[in-house]
């Protein structure tokens, strides 16, 4: 089973590239951000998730881990999964390891998209026009998301580095160039 953690700060291109990896390798794409956005906004869980995501803060680990596990469990026959936007804390990474090991599986690799902060901000502001996402439109919320990434999420890369599973990928260039960089790493590992 190919379990790929596609990692990177907000605006790095995780969602776009996940869709390309999904097509090429026949994987299931799970984005915890998309799952949160798809919740009924009037439900208890929907209200809770939005109270964090609208401000650019992380949804608490207990909630996020449960949601992720329930999403993965919806695809028992998957050839593999792309994890997009998860794990975002070391506790989530530990939980994912435990969850997969109970299934006799493991994270195959983390692919980390590297993009300079100025470029991230430009991309997110442009994305706000089409995404309609409140957290893309406000420069203060964008900065909070980047800060949260640097303080809470970036250490997750060290977690996988310690397992020799981390590859950093230049996330600047055309969409095809970036996809090809990702394909090369995946193909050379298989």
Q: Interacting stretch for ligand AMP, rule CB under 6 A, among 22-30, 38-46, 51-59, 181-189?
A: 51-59
The total of other beta-carbon atoms located within 10 Å of residue 44's CB is 9
CB of 4 closer than 8 Å to CB of 79: no
User: In the 8-state DSSP scheme, what is residue 59?
Assistant: P
In the bound state, the residue with its beta carbon closest to ligand AMP is 33
Q: Of these, 28, 48, 58, 185, which contacts ligand AMP (CB under 6 A)?
A: 58
What's the closest the beta carbon of residue 111 comes to ligand AMP, in angstroms? 15
The answer to whether 8 contacts ligand AMP (rule: CB under 6 A) is no
Q: Of these, 5, 21, 27, 59, which contacts ligand AMP (CB under 6 A)?
A: 59
Site for ligand AMP in 83-112 (CB under 6 A): 85-86, 88, 92
CB of 89 closer than 8 Å to CB of 151: no
Q: How far is CA 83 from CA 17, 30, 55, 116, in A?
A: 11, 5, 23, 22
**Distance, CA of 15 to CA of 69 (rounded, Å):** 19
* Sites of contact with ligand AMP (CB under 6 A): 10, 32-33, 36, 52-53, 56-59, 64, 85-86, 88, 92, 135, 145
């Amino acid at each position: 089973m190919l379990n790929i953690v596609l990692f990177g700060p907000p605006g790095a291109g995780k969602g776009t590239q996940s869709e390309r990896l999904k097509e090429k390798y026949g994987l299931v794409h799970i984005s915890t951000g998309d799952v949160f956005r798809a919740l009924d906004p009037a439900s208890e869980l929907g209200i809770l998730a939005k109270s964090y995501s609208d401000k650019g803060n992380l949804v608490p680990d207990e909630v996020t881990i449960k949601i992720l596990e329930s999403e993965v469990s919806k695809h028992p026959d998957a050839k593999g999964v792309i994890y997009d936007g998860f794990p975002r804390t070391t506790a989530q990474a530990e939980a994912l390891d435990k969850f997969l090991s109970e299934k006799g599986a493991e994270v195959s690799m983390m692919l980390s998209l590297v993009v300079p902060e100025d470029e991230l901000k430009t991309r997110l502001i442009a994305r706000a026009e089409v995404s309609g996402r409140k957290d893309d439109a406000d420069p203060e919320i964008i900065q909070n998301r980047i800060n949260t990434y640097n303080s809470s999420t970036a250490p997750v890369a060290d977690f996988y580095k310690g397992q020799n599973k981390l590859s950093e990928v230049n996330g600047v260039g055309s969409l095809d160039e970036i996809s090809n960089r990702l394909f090369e790493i995946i193909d050379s590992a298989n």
